[in-house]
């Protein structure tokens, strides 16, 4: 599959981008630009412990911005997290929602913002909220370089009762501003850099191969793959390398721009199902099946894999097999950052495989895959990585 040029094309702009080291200092004026002087910060305990939350609150305090905080978002945010955060935000009152964290926090913050605007709704109503009333305006401040969640108006959260991932979103909760300050990612542990960075690389690869790809998404995805492929290993080797952190953060954002336009594919379909059943961090779930899904898709994705290879600056293969060359290069990247694990290490039991395959096929992202799989084909991928 991959890029095609439609006769007509409509693409909504994403958000205002504020990028660069030290940009966090501009947060008060960004809040004011949205017509408010109060802020409700959504984050997690890890960033509170790391001192990053206090750093951001100090910026707001110095400027006299009244603020509230919800720091209870989990690593795989649940409907319970969103409901609890929304209750806190409703009690605080009208404000700009500031999402400070990785993709989990950004996803939860979108749900919280939306529920505040819909007083009788709960996160379990996610499937019915796409036509709901507007949520609160949102500023996204990612503290990892991976998810691209600052580019879109939906979040992926866990319905623990149903053991599945659900999408919660609305046009109004697409972040108005993405504040990309790479200084917030300096010193991020290597294993988190790897897990979030591979998510960004998969966004670029799957966007290029998606049935929804078009020249605009391809432009974003190609540049994203080029930047992430070069700078992810460097940031993994040296977490204090600000140049690597900056380039990786911007590349991850561009990958988010791409996926918002094109959609993703089977790697994410399986990854979501793995996380729903085992709690595996999102990036590790993707890495577990990445090369195997690429091999399955190769026949239908030759052109897009060539685009990926050229973005990674690979030499043309003498046998013309761009797919094999690309998959080998991706395997080299995942190996260099030590991110790939067999499924049994990720607490997958053999009796889970059927349910995981069914979950992957039911996930909307899978419909964008260049080669649509059967349940037996998904099972074969899972068994190959077990």
Positive or negative, the CA dihedral 71, 158, 147, 244 is positive
Rounded mean pLDDT, 54-70: 98
64 sits in the region (left: phi over 0; alpha: psi -120 to 50; else beta) called left
Q: What is the pLDDT of residues 192-242, one digit of tens each?
A: 999 999 999 999 999 999 999 999 999 999 999 999 999 999 999 999 999
Burial grade of 72 (CB within 10 A; 0-12, 13-18, 19 or more):
middle
What is the DSSP track for 263-316? Answer: ---HHHHHHHHHHHHH---HHHHHHHHHHHHHHHHGGG-HHHHHHHHHHTTPPP
Q: What is the pLDDT of residues 331-367, one digit of tens each?
A: 999 999 999 999 999 999 999 999 999 999 999 999 9
Q: What is the pLDDT of residues 1-49, one digit of tens each?
A: 566 667 788 888 789 999 999 999 999 999 999 999 999 999 999 999 9
Residue-level pLDDT at 125: 87
What predicted TM-score, i.e. pTM, was given to this entire model?
0.94
Q: What is the pLDDT of residues 92-132, one digit of tens each?
A: 999 999 999 999 999 999 999 999 999 899 998 888 898 89
Asked if residue 146 lies in contact with residue 103, where contact means CB atoms within 8 angstroms, the answer is yes
Q: Compute the distance between CA of residue 108 and CA of residue 47 in angstroms, rounded to an integer.
A: 15
Q: How far is CA 304 from CA 170, 171, 291, in A?
A: 31, 30, 15
């Amino acid at each position: 599959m991959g890029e095609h040029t439609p006769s007509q094309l409509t693409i909504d702009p994403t958000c205002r981008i504020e990028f660069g080291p030290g940009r966090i200092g501009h947060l008060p004026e960004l809040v004011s630009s949205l017509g408010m002087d109060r802020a409700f910060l959504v984050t997690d305990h890890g960033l509170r412990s790391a001192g990053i939350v206090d750093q951001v609150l100090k910026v707001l305090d110095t400027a006299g911005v009244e603020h509230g905080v919800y720091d209870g978002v989990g690593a795989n945010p649940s409907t319970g997290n969103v409901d609890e955060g929304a209750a806190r935000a409703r009690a605080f009152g009208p404000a700009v929602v500031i999402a400070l964290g990785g993709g989990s926090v950004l996803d939860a913050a979108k749900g919280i913002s939306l529920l505040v605007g819909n007083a009788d709704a709960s996160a379990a109503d996610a499937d019915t909220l796409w036509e709901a009333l507007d949520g609160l305006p949102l500023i996204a401040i990612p503290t990892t370089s991976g998810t691209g969640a600052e580019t879109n108006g939906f979040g992926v959260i866990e319905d623990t009762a149903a053991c599945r991932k659900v999408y919660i979103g609305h046009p109004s909760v697409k972040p108005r501003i993405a504040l990309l300050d790479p200084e917030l990612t300096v010193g991020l542990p290597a294993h988190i850099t790897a897990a979030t960075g591979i998510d960004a690389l998969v966004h670029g690869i799957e966007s290029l191969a998606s049935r929804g790809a078009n020249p605009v998404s391809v432009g974003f995805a190609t540049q994203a793959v080029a930047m992430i492929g070069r700078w992810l290993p460097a940031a993994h080797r040296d977490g204090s390398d600000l140049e690597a952190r900056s380039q990786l953060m911007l590349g991850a954002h561009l990958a988010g721009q791409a996926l918002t336009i094109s959609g993703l594919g089977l790697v994410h379909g399986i990854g979501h199902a793995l996380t729903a059943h085992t709690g595996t961090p999102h990036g590790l779930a993707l890495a577990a099946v990445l090369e195997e899904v690429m091999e399955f898709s190769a026949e239908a994705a030759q052109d897009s894999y060539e685009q990926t290879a050229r973005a990674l600056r690979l030499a043309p293969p003498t046998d013309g097999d761009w797919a094999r060359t690309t998959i080998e290069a991706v395997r080299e990247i995942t190996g260099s950052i030590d991110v790939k694990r067999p499924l049994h290490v990720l607490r997958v039991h053999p009796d889970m495989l059927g349910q995981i395959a069914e979950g992957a096929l039911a996930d909307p992202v899978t419909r964008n895959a260049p080669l649509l799989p059967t349940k037996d084909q998904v099972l074969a991928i899972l068994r190959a990585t077990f």
